[in-house]
Amino acid sequence: RNAIAALEADLAAARDVAASPAPAQAAPATPQADLFGGPAAADSLTEAVAERLEALAARAEANAAALEAAVLSA
């Protein structure tokens, strides 16, 4: 039961991060922009945030699968 509670907490935390609004960005100096309105060339912060979100999404999917398996076996 503790494992299920921990998985539920991890899943809730990942959902909170995914649902949080993106930080405001200044308008680009050139007409070229990416999907998020930032400069076309991604900076290290943007890459780090994208990698973190991808890792959280993968972790949330794994936790959801583990939670489902735990519920089905209970």
Residue 35 resides in a domain: no
Separation CA 11–CA 33 (nearest Å) = 32
Residue 6 resides in a domain: yes
Query: Which has the higher per-residue pLDDT, 67 or 33?
Result: 67
Residue 19 resides in a domain: yes
* Structural domains in the chain (count): 1
Residue 32 resides in a domain: no
pLDDT at 69 > cutoff 80: yes
Residue 29 resides in a domain: no
Residue 37 resides in a domain: no
Domain span including residue 51: 2-23+42-73
Paired tokens of 32: 């070229």
Query: Which has the higher per-residue pLDDT, 67 or 39?
Result: 67
Residue 12 resides in a domain: yes
pTM of the complete model beyond 0.85: no
36-51 pLDDT tens trace: 665 555 567 778 888 8
pLDDT for the residue numbered 9: 81
Residue 57 resides in a domain: yes
For residue 50, the tally of other CB atoms under 10 A from its CB is: 12
